[in-house]
Structure 1
Amino acid sequence: MKKFLNVLSISVVMMVGMGTMVSCEEETLGLDNNVIGGEAEGNLLSLDVIAYNDTIDTIRSDRFVLKNATLGAYNENIFGTTSSKFYAQFRPSIIGNQDFHTEPKVDSVNLVLPVFYKTTDKPLSVDTIKLSRAENPSSEIADTDTILITTKYKVDSLYGKKDLKMTLNVRDINTTLLADSKYFSKLNGNDNLISTNSKPIGTLSIGNTVETKVVKQKSETTNIYSETVGYKISLDKDYFEEKIIKNAKTGLLSDYATFIRENIKGFEFSVEENDGFILNFNPSNISLNMYYSYKNPVEKGDDKDYKERLSGVYGFDFSNQWASLAGPNVLVNEIKNNFIGTKFGDAVANPNKIEGDSRLYLNGMSGSYIGLKINQNQLEELKTNLNKGNIAILGAKLKLYIDDSYGFPKPPYITAINYYKKEGGDYISEMYQDSKFQIDAQQYFYNSYPNSVHFNPIVTGKTDYYTIDITGHLKQMLEKGVKFEDQEMRIFMGNFLINNSTSTVYSDNNPYRLDRSFNPYRVVLHGNKTEDVTKKLKLLVYYSKK
């Protein structure tokens, strides 16, 4: 019986006797001319791989990984249906018992769910209305006039059927979200650990455009009023009368712990439809304000501008650990997949782990992954031949070609981790080491975006394949004799999470700090058994022989 380790299935006989060898000039390696000393002869070996479809049924989907969040539903016949609900904890911006004055009344409550939009593109429309007509009855707008500017943008963070409308509902939840708990999505939908009240406290039809309003004096650079660009939802005034106004002196607003455990435990954001689009958004930027009025405590007197009632604003904070100013709020996505009867479902139900699959399926917000393995005996034989031939390894890259006949939008990234058995029998997952980034002769994983991405370069434009660079890993095994027992490369949709400040990977030692829990992309790739020999999945090993 053959024992497979991972990443590739190398035919040493093919490589030594009749292996594919071409000049390095035909493949971009990205190395300086002085990588190795002396005069070197550049060569490329094209090595076979074994790759197959697989999946896991649970992924982590809490603030540990949710730099962005999702909600919505999308269905097509290759991968099936993915749906997502979002749960968010929030706190008052100002904590403590409140004085809402005499005869307080909630006038309106506005929640804005932020969206991503292209700031470099022109807005779809801009309308300007003069508000100060009493002071200046002319139809012309003077520099001193107060104006309302309504701007419409196209949403740039939808995946799926973008032209459809979906019904967004906001509900309050009954389950206390705990900061020290881990939250996972059981992707088949069997588990739902967070309960909600059935009646929505806010509803809005959402689509591919949003409007935002700004009030300002025409000649001024600062705004009198402005909104977050996003979906603006009016919430139930009575709900906030009960939860906020009536609890001003009860102690339920006195501290954060009491507020999130006994008063408002959080909101659920979900859609009614089973098909449409997945919305991607930054949960830290959710805006929620309660606008209220109260009886003027001052007698009217002779003041011509006297107002019987005055107004106030009570705000809330949704910031979490990913915000520029980190906050403590817990956030959770509940993701469900239904791929029964689809091509993806059939592929993961019947993977060919001996010979590999002809097509490989990856979708975000799921447990799908590609497994790759290598013959351990052949790897040892390759190591022997390399040592005898005075060969230096310059690079090792996997090329995974996109099957564009399916027409999915091209994902910018896929990524991979190393899964193997440690001494003692426990399996672990690790990040691959980068031969181009060393400290004290030790290799570490390093990607710096956007200009220094060695491991998994971004795919844009007409590029029709993904690259996974395992140079450091192969050199570890062949040159340093490092062994990885029962090894398997696992390739996922998406990319590593990135630091806000440094543009490097958020964690260089935890391989599961990935964006796959909020990455909606789908892609079909050519496998090692594809009928298109020009796009066969393979490992390219670049080497020099003096």
Structure 2
Amino acid sequence: MIIETKKIFKLFVIAGLGSLGIQSCESEANNLGEQFFASGAATGETQSYDVVAYNLNNNDTIQSDASRISQATLGAFAEDNFGMQKSSYVTQLRLSSYNPDFGTNAKVDSVVLELKPIYASDSATTSTDEDYIFTGNVAAKKVVTTYPIQKYGNNKSLTLKVDEVNDFLYSTEKKYYSNQKVALGVNLATVPLNGKVSSVSITSDADSKELLSRTVGVRIPLDAQYFQDKIVNKQGATELKDAASFIRYIKGIRLSVVENDGYIFRFTPNDTSIKMYYTYDTTSNGTTTKTSAVYQFDLGSSNTHFNQIDYNRTSAYSTALANIDATNGDERLYLQGMGGAGAVLRIPATEIQKIKNLYKNENIGILSAKIRLYTDDSVWNKSYAKPSNFLVKYANLNDFLDDVSAMSLSSSYSLVKTSDLTSNPAYYDITITQTLKNIIEKEAENKDLEINVGDYLKSTQGTLLGQKYNTRAYAPQRIVLVGSKTANQNKVKLNIIYAKK
């Protein structure tokens, strides 16, 4: 029985471990070949190899237009490793209908910008006013449900500004990067943010009829006179007759925060809207009355929008990025989303040759191959959430790793596994089993790997959409990892598990 198992195992190794080796990479030994270990027909061994790891300077810039930000960011956050990162949001706006008729003697009462931040839906608090009086002296019940905004950074107060943009923003076909600046016009709002979002429901006491319903969001009052002058008083003017004229007339708005330290939050840009509440005269039987109306502006997907991201770097970060050692590696790796730095990982040719010698001389089969990166708890022991995942690709290419291409449909496959991320230090394991096997067994090119903070996006069927479809442009997380040019016992290593006769 042992002889037969050995024969099977030998064929299994020589033919290549194939998809089974990738599919079962979740356990420490990847579950691959467990039968051989259990029967005693094969022995499993582990070995570590050096990896060169160095910082990748992304020049604090990333494409941040609508094609990259299904979620946008807003806010500012500063800490002592990376410095300050501050995100603003720029967008066009359009009329919901052109050549609008606002009626006779139209008068703007109020204008409200509505934002839809990502919030903690499991942390709701509810307040109820049973004696609320609605418009028209209607007895009603008012229920306000409040949720905390999901924040990255410190729980400090922020002040939100909304300003007119004076630069033409072209069309959604134009690429915008996070270092794009825009000229500003008049200020439309400066309001405090309390870090919370709310929904409102008002129902009549008499028949429980819903009188008002507002979905979860933040409502920001804008300058009503601006819209009176620029919109309502322009009724019938050429500026309001078509989209091309309007986006050159009112070019857009920018949302930003006053402070340089607080938190960064995310919101869904295509759900952003501006509502203008106004009245106009209605005459019937010689009697003139004021009629209320609402006009909604379009800030959704038909508009150009992008994140503008500014930095004020610490000397430690600037020094590290100015002195990258691509030959021997760096002491620390500074990884940051939203255009911050990434890292490059290289398995030296000498280490690859050692593994090839094992494969040739001892007939090994690689069961697992993972690059382990530890957080550097000497400088990063913060309570801020660590990145839960990394983007991993071949350097200077837009191709997925062989592992991802082979196993993208497997529910058991994980490109990056982590330890408990609340602990310090924590570690990340990047699975490269198939990639390494192809190098060792098929003489595939030993390509450098590039990692950045972010997650890959998937379709509704669970398949990866492509290398460029990811969250990096709006991932506010950052982390300092132990590099390779160090005596630290937690420096970057390639850990493999292999089996032989």
Q: 1:473 aligns with which of 435, 438, 448?
A: 435
Contact 1:411 / 1:459 at 8 angstroms: preserved in 2?
no
Unaligned runs of 5+ in 1: 1-23, 137-144, 302-306, 321-327, 420-426, 436-442
Task: State the distance in 2 between where 1:122 and 1:332 align.
Answer: 31
CA spacing shift, 1:215–1:181, aligned 2, 3 Å: same
> 2:13 aligns to what?
none
TM-aligned CA distance change 1:122 to 1:489, over 3 Å: same
User: Residues of 2 paired with 1:396 and 1:219: CA distance?
Assistant: 69
Equivalent pair of 1:72/1:276 in contact (CA under 8 Å): yes
Match of 2:118 among 106, 116, 119: 116
Q: How does 1:370-519 map to 2 (within 5 A)?
A: 370-404=343-377, 405-407=380-382, 408-419=384-395, 427-434=396-403, 443-444=405-406, 446=408, 452-457=412-417, 462=422, 464-484=426-446, 487-499=447-459, 501-507=460-466, 510=467, 512-519=468-475
Q: Which runs of 5+ in 2 are unaligned?
A: 1-23
Decide which of 271, 277, 292 is 1:311's aligned counterpart. 292
* Number of positions where the alignment pairs a residue of Structure 1 with one of Structure 2: 469
Name the residue aligned to 2:12: none
Residue aligning to 1:525: 481
Which of 328, 346, 363 lines up with 2:336 in the alignment? 363
SS class of match (1:104): strand
What is the 5 A alignment of 1:40-59? 40-57=42-59, 58-59=61-62
| Counterpart residue number, 1:147 | 141
Identical pairs, percent: 32
Superimposed CA distance per residue, residues 403-426 of structure 1 (whole angstroms, 9 cap, x where no aligned partner): 34531422222222211xxxxxxx
* Alpha-carbon distance, 1:316 to partner: 2.1
Residue 19 of structure 2: aligned partner: none
TM-aligned CA deviation for residue 367 of structure 1: 3.1
Paired with 1:32 and 1:173, the residues of 2 have a C-alpha distance of: 59
Deviations 1:140-195 (A, max 9, x none): xxxxx532222332222x22221x22221111212222222111123xxxx62x22
C-alpha deviation, 1:461, in angstroms: 5.5
Residue 223 of structure 1, CA deviation = 4.1
Hey, what's the Cα distance between the residues in 1 that align with 2:399 and 2:108?
53
Q: CA deviation at 1:398?
A: 1.3
State the match for 2:21 in structure 1: none
In structure 1, C-alpha distance between the alignment counterparts of 2:128 and 2:42, rounded to whole Å: 62
Cα deviation for residue 283 of structure 1 reads: 1.1
Q: 1:347 to 1:267 in 2, by over 3 A?
A: same
Contact 2:141 2:203 in 1 (8 A): yes
- What's the CA shift for 1:503? 4.3
Amino acid at match of 2:292: S
Q: Give 1:210-229 correspondences, 5 Å limit.
A: 210-217=197-204, 223-229=210-216
Deviates more, 1:355-364 or 1:264-273: 355-364
The one of 166, 173, 179 aligned to 1:180: 173
Partners of 1:153 and 1:49 in 2: CA distance: 45
Q: TM-score, normalised by structure 2?
A: 0.84
Q: Secondary structure of 2:284's match?
A: coil
8 Å Cα contact 1:228-1:287 kept in structure 2: no
State the distance in 2 between where 1:223 and 1:455 align.
49
Q: Equivalent residue for 2:278?
A: 292
Contact 2:343 2:450 in 1 (8 A): yes
The separation in 2 between residues aligned to 1:395 and 1:527, in whole angstroms, is 22
Secondary structure of the residue that 1:434 maps to in structure 2? helix
Amino acid at match of 2:183: S
CA contact (8 A) 1:498 1:505 kept: yes
Contact 1:432 / 1:445 at 8 angstroms: preserved in 2?
no
Which residue in 2 is equivalent to 1:8? none
Pairing of 1:47-196 with structure 2 (within 5 A): 47-57=49-59, 58-93=61-96, 95-123=97-125, 125-131=127-133, 146-156=140-150, 158-162=151-155, 164-177=156-169, 178-186=171-179, 192=181, 194-196=182-184
Q: Tell me, in whole angstroms, the C-alpha distance in 2 between the residues paired with 1:529 and 1:456.
A: 23
Is 1:544 the equivalent of 2:499?
A: yes
Distance 1:263 1:68, change over 3 A: same
Give the Cα separation in 1 of the matches to 2:300 and 2:338. Answer: 23
Aligned residues of 1:112 and 1:228 also touching (Cα < 8 A): no
Map of 1:337 onto structure 2: 311
Q: What is the CA deviation profile of residues 467-517 of structure 1, one whole-angstrom value per residue up to 9, with x for unaligned ones?
A: 211122112212222225xx3222112222344x3344331xx3x433222
Shift of 1:456: 1.9
User: What's 1:258 paired with?
Assistant: 245
